[in-house]
Amino acid sequence: MCHADCCCSGETKSGLMNLLIAFTIINLILSVVAIFIRAAKTQRYDEALEYLEAINNGNLDSLDLNNCNQNLFDDDIYCNIDGKTLKKPSQSVKNQGIFKNWNKIELSLNISRTVITIPFLAFLIYVINKRNMERFNLITIFVILLIVVSGLWIVIRALAISANQDIGLYEDGEQNAFEEKIAINYIFDIIEIVLYSIEICFIIRIKRPAPPAPIIVQPPPQPVQPVIVGAVIERRVAVGVFSSDEHILDKF
C-alpha cells in the first residue's frame, strides 16, 4: 500500500476523483480483455489433458524416461524422447481438479471480476457526482475487495501452472502456450492491484479535511508623531541671528 501523498501531490480533490474513475475504467478494460486470453483454449492444454489421463492410467510407462538430465538453470529434469528434449513428468500431479476444470474456472475468474467492476464503476461515478463523502467508506471496501480478488486469482492461476509443470512433456527452454496465456493474465492481475492500491491513496486524500485558512493578525496602528515645522524654522532662524550678532561684536 502506498503512502497517501505518494503521487499527484499537487492534484485537487476534483482531479483525484477523475483519476479514480480513469483508473477504474482501465481496470475494467483489462478484465474484459482477459476474458478472451484463454490458456484453456491452447493446444498445449488439450495435449496436457491427454498426458494427464495417460499418467493416471499408467500409459506413459512405455516412454523411455531413462535418458534424462537435470537442467542447468533450474531443478527440472528433461528427457530425450523421440528426438525432442521434453520435461520429465512428475511422479504425482498436484491440483488435478483445478487443471481438469480450467476451462470453466478460468472463464469464471475473469467474468466474475468484470461483473464486480461494472457496478463498482457505476457506484463510483454516482458518489462522485453527488459529492457524498460518507459513501467513500463503502468505495474503499469495494476497492479492497477487488484487490483481494485479483490476488486470489493470481494464486489460483499459479496452481494451474503447477499442475501443468507436473504433467510436463513440453520442450526445454520454451514457455509453452498455456503458461504464456496465464502469464499475460498475471500481468493484468498485478496492474489491477497496483492501480486499486493507488486509488486507496487517492480516497484517503479526498476524505482528508481541508486545512483551516491561516489567520492573519494585523498589527495595531502606530501613532503619528506631529511635526512642528514652524518651531523648527524659528529655532533655526534664532540660532542664525544669534550667530550673526556674535560676529558683529567681534569686529568691535
What is the three-class DSSP state of 81?
Answer: strand
The label of the residue with cell 490458456 reads 39
DSSP 98-167: HHHTHHHHHHHHHHHHHHHHHHHHHHHHHHHHHT-GGGHHHHHHHHHHHHHHHHHHHHHHHHHHHHHHHH
What's the start-to-end Cα distance of the chain, in Å? Answer: 103
Q: 3-class secondary structure for 40-64?
A: HHCHHHHHHHHHHHHHHHCHHHHCC
Structure confidence by residue, pLDDT tens digits, 162-196: 999 999 988 876 778 999 999 999 999 999 999 99
Cell of 214: 491561516
Structure-model confidence comparison of residues 11 and 164, the more confident one: 164
The pLDDT assigned to 229 comes to 53
Structure confidence by residue, pLDDT tens digits, 29-83: 999 999 999 999 999 999 999 999 988 887 776 676 777 777 666 677 888 877 7
Range with the lowest mean pLDDT among 85-89, 124-128, 173-177? Answer: 173-177
Helix axes 102-130, 136-167, angle to 10 degrees: 160
Structure confidence by residue, pLDDT tens digits, 191-223: 999 999 999 999 999 888 766 656 776 777 776
Distances (CA, A) of 234 to 11, 156, 241, 243: 68, 104, 10, 14
70: β partners: 77
The pLDDT assigned to 9 comes to 64
pTM of full prediction above 0.85: no
Share of the chain above pLDDT 90, in %: 53
Structure-model confidence comparison of residues 40 and 250, the more confident one: 40
Q: Per-residue pLDDT for 233 more than 50?
A: no
**pLDDT bucket at 95, cuts 50 / 70 / 90:** very high
